[in-house]
Structure 1
Amino acid sequence: MNGLKLAVAVVACGLAFSSPASDGVSDLQTAEAVDPGIYAEVAALLQREVGAQLTRHLQDQGRLRQVTVSVVVNPHKRRMIVDFGPGYLPGNDQNYGELFLIPLAGDLRRYADQAGLEILDVQFLFQGRPMEAHFPEDHPAPRAPKSRSTHTQALVSASHGYIALHPSRAWKFQRPAPLGLQEDVLSPAYGDELQGLLEQRSGLAVHRARSRSTDLHPESSHPWEQMSSRYHLKALLPERADIWNALPNSTESNREVKEDIRARPNYANHLGVDVMLSLHTNGSDASSVRGAEVYHHRAKPEDKALGDSILCGMKELIHAQPGYESFPVRAESVPDGHGENRIGRMPSVIVETAYHSNPEDVAALLDPVFRTASMKGVEKGYRLWAQGKTCEPLAGQSIVDVDIPSGESREVDVAFAGHPQFPISLVTSNTLCPPGWGCNGRTVVIDSPDQPSRMKLSCGRNSVGTLGWETHVVDADGVKTQPVPHTVRCVAVGSPDVSALARNVAGLAQ
């Protein structure tokens, strides 16, 4: 009989909703029932989805297993706990289930969102314990953090590339292209963009995990730039098989896919870089899912701040571009179990720039304007994090209203929040001009943050009246604040208003 027909996994599922006070593994221990009418549809959906996907996964591996699955949702903490009973514990040779569990987590977030539950953290347990508790030797504690101010090197890992299947040695790209966009070919250009920005703006020496050569790879006859990191590192470090040939005894067809995942962070560890930034595009069976996301490893929660800062930078830079003002960018970095982040002993995050399975995102990914803006956001988010600064959007602050004697000028401060890219421009335009007056706006360029952010306001000779202005700040990357309104009263020389102003200025000087 057909072996696959016999290899059917029997999956029993149960779902509960936890107390708001529960946390982590304790979510399973303190779960309490709620009105079943509220969550009945969610429960049925999640139960069916986890069970069906696990069944298909085990069936594809030709394994007969009876596995129980329980699901706990804590909507207050935006957390979902999926606990697999005995019979499913993916180990080292399966990259700890990464190729199955991470897409499953994405599906569960999406289904929960459709049911009105915002779930950020999908955590998988195995017989009540996280993966790292079962395999502590391959989930070591990250090294002691290095002072960010001393960072000098980064590894940029841009996507996947060709790998060979076993035993046929047929070559194939690692990622699907449902709308014709091949992530394995596209992402290296994003890596080029990010490399230049990290070198120019962050002052880092940047290493790459994949080759950018257009010469042909001898074994596959494909250009080197289309090959995965595994083969580039094999050619670069032939004596270090531990980096690129981590599973030499595996008989699985996609063995080299798993070796490629490990090769990138192994290389980062070999180089001793200070940060590893992995660039990818995302995919989903639901074509409606879109936007930018960043992932950190749940065993390295200190990397969350880096991921959050990068998302903040991406949102600011992408939204500054015409046509991308509402492009979806997730607010927080997502904890997950990617090997790239786990194996890298330095701060490591995965940037999923957009979804290659969504038509709008595909159009964005092919747009050089979006590519530059998104990578400027990644670099800015990293740089602010490395400098110990909080990423915050550029925003104008109030500008004082002033009285100015006719024929004179005054300088006023133009304050703002955020971290613009210099030079910046202070752009002032008129909103109220007395009849017969010439009221012209102006632009003042501030070359560096060491230069005072000020502009000069003037009143013409014999001019008495009130003028309205609005001023906004525009940085070198096109990020701009909302206009801030302010007024100028041009007053006659020797008027009480001017005398009061003079006294106030004298008082401030004292």
Structure 2
Amino acid sequence: MPGKAPLSQYPHTPRIAVNFALAVALVTSLQLPSKASATNHIHDQRVPIALLPDARKADFEARISQDISYRLSLHQLRSPLPLPASAMVSLDAASGRLVVDLGTAMGPYSLELELEDLQGEFLTSADQVTKGVAQVTGILLLFGGKDAYFYHPEAWRAPPPSLTPHSSINTKSSQKIAVTAGHGYYYHHGYKDWRLQRDWHNGMVEDLTTPNYALMVSAWLQIRSDVGAIYPRGMYIGIHQPSGKHWYEMGARYNLERAYPNNPEIWNSRKGSSEHDREQKEDVYSRPFFANHIGADAAINLHTNGDGDPTIRGARAFYQLKDSTSKTLGDRVLCYMREQVDTLDKYRDYLIDKSARDSNYAENRESKMPSVIVEVGFHSNPEDAAAMQDNDFVVAATRGIAKGYRAFSNGWDCSKFDIESISDVVANETESAPVSIDITGHPEIPITVEFEPLDCPAGWIDCESTIRYIVDPTTPMVTTLFCGRIPQTGTAIWRSRLRDFDGIVTDWATLSQTCINSDEKVPEDT
């Protein structure tokens, strides 16, 4: 099996960008968060659609249908597509997904990128209506009762095989992960100018925000998982001459044109088209085509979200319909993003979905490997936008996304870092005894062990809070407690908790420490 290709093999991945990201991540990784949550909270308490009473479900469907009709009316004002005035809407109890039927006339247009934006809007309608009550697991667009593949069978791809640890992932030293940053400047042939693909909201724009997230995710992947993270946008110093914009501001399509001039199938997929926005569409498709071209083991596509309703917020992940392997990747990304963001007290209420949602987006559909879209938050929501521009949040969120990939690759489940059991100890006066700790979860070494006394016998002078450090990840983990000089044999009660290098903190666990007075020494074979 070939080793990991050097970064210089990929002309679109200049070393200056990688080194900058590595430096930022290395600096931040050496600084423990000043505050951390004592427990890992579950923020999403929504129930499955199947558990809703029939009347409640019908009410939700009617209200979602009304909102979708309103959204369709707005799109009709500017869309070249023959959008209907309304749609058939249902919440499928078996799958939990939102099903929207746009009618037979829309079938030939079922893979148009505008429908991808509508998918997001429709799902947001469902989230808003069912807010805090039910979890909508994804969205399926139908066209006269048929899915998009009925009208475009050539677009169907079989999902990747179900994953067992390392079964479809190369060894770490040879893994390549495509980390893509959504959007960027493109040339509009109607207006004949260079323009961003998304609008500014709350002091940020998606096109110029995602490159920083991609750099940081790539850095964490390289530092902690020893995998090659490759990204298609030109994240380096320099000017794209036709537009006068910095390369890092440009859509991936243009950097891939420069890097792969002899492979126009990657970046010029709309050749011959007269569409004014053809280069924008080429940009979207260039990301999965690039991932396929380099033989990436997985793709993580980073975006921010937006909606006309500024109250909608939270992080989401999407995978292709019926792709269970990519669902696992999306679930792990959300799980460990939640874990890492929880280390910041100010963002412990940041909404992050518990599960990835299925959908039909080109970035996932066209990828031949496990692929997820990660929407970090809503730039249209002031609180989310403020968080996404805060370096503390960027570091924690990207560290979680990268850890989610590591969990996926290693076959880890989504488990809370906690103390499963901790041993009681017995030792002679002025001697130490080992404390054995079994844990759950996947902490980052080194680990700090905190001991606090709850009850100490009279006269014990060494019964004070203390800290130990564990650098061996082998479980059970082992540290020690020391018995000082004591007037008589007795037992102290302690509580202990662990804090990993990222600031993830377990719940408290209690243990007893029995210290034997020198006149009653413990036999050597005890």
Q: TM-score, normalised by structure 2?
A: 0.82
The two structures, once aligned, show a CA RMSD in angstroms of: 2.7
Q: 1:318 to 1:172 in 2, by over 3 A?
A: same
The one of 474, 480, 483 aligned to 1:456: 480
Q: Distance in 2 between matches of 1:65 and 1:355?
A: 26
SS of 1:471's partner is strand
Write the letter of the residue equivalent to 1:150: T
Q: 1:339 to 1:63 in 2, by over 3 A?
A: closer
Q: CA deviation at 1:437?
A: 3.0
The one of 498, 501, 507 aligned to 1:473: 498
Return 99-108 or 89-98, whichever deviates more.
89-98
Q: CA deviation at 1:40?
A: 6.3
2:149 corresponds in structure 1 to 132
The one of 311, 316, 320 aligned to 1:297: 320
CA contact (8 A) 2:73 2:85 kept: no
Q: 1:71 to 1:168 in 2, by over 3 A?
A: closer
Q: 1:149 to 1:393 in 2, by over 3 A?
A: farther
CA contact (8 A) 1:93 1:250 kept: no
The one of 56, 77, 82 aligned to 2:100: 82
Q: Distance in 1 between matches of 2:233 and 2:273?
A: 24
SS of 2:106's partner is coil
Q: Distance in 2 between matches of 1:92 and 1:219?
A: 33
| Residue 51 (structure 1) aligned with residue 69 (structure 2) | yes
SS of 1:371's partner is helix
Identity of aligned residues (%): 30
1:136-168 CA-partner distances (Å, limit 9, x unpaired) = 211221455762253511111012110111223
Q: Distance in 2 between matches of 1:51 and 1:363?
A: 31
Return 436-445 or 196-205, whichever deviates more.
436-445
CA contact (8 A) 1:157 1:208 kept: yes
1:79-112 CA-partner distances (Å, limit 9, x unpaired) = 2221222211253772483233333222233223
Q: TM-score, normalised by structure 1?
A: 0.85
Matches within 5 A, 1:359-398: 359-398=382-421
Q: 1:494 to 1:74 in 2, by over 3 A?
A: farther
| Residue 100 (structure 1) aligned with residue 118 (structure 2) | yes
2:136 corresponds in structure 1 to 119
2:235 corresponds in structure 1 to 212
Q: Distance in 1 between matches of 2:81 and 2:449?
A: 66
2:206 corresponds in structure 1 to 183
1:486 corresponds in structure 2 to 511
SS of 1:89's partner is helix
Q: CA deviation at 1:51?
A: 2.5
Write the letter of the residue equivalent to 1:369: D
1:2-61 CA-partner distances (Å, limit 9, x unpaired) = xxxxxxxxxxxxxxxxx969xxxxxxxxxxx955xx466534422222233334434423
The one of 152, 160, 168 aligned to 1:147: 168
Unaligned runs of 5+ in 2: 1-48
Q: 1:135 to 1:81 in 2, by over 3 A?
A: same
Q: Which has the larger radius of gyration?
A: 1
Q: Distance in 2 between matches of 1:64 and 1:377?
A: 41
1:109 corresponds in structure 2 to 127
1:356-384 CA-partner distances (Å, limit 9, x unpaired) = 11222122111111111111111111111
SS of 1:87's partner is helix
Q: 1:477 to 1:68 in 2, by over 3 A?
A: closer
Q: 1:65 to 1:268 in 2, by over 3 A?
A: closer
CA contact (8 A) 2:101 2:142 kept: yes
Write the letter of the residue equivalent to 1:72: S
Q: CA deviation at 1:470?
A: 1.4
Q: Distance in 2 between matches of 1:73 and 1:282?
A: 23
Q: Distance in 2 between matches of 1:341 and 1:352?
A: 13
Aligned residues: 470
Matches within 5 A, 1:310-389: 310-389=333-412
2:12 corresponds in structure 1 to none
Which structure has the higher relative contact order (CA within 8 Å, separation 6+)?
A: 2
Write the letter of the residue equivalent to 2:362: G
CA contact (8 A) 1:153 1:274 kept: yes
Q: Distance in 2 between matches of 1:427 and 1:259?
A: 54
Write the letter of the residue equivalent to 1:330: D
1:235 corresponds in structure 2 to 258
Q: CA deviation at 1:295?
A: 0.9
Q: CA deviation at 1:119?
A: 1.8
Write the letter of the residue equivalent to 1:216: I
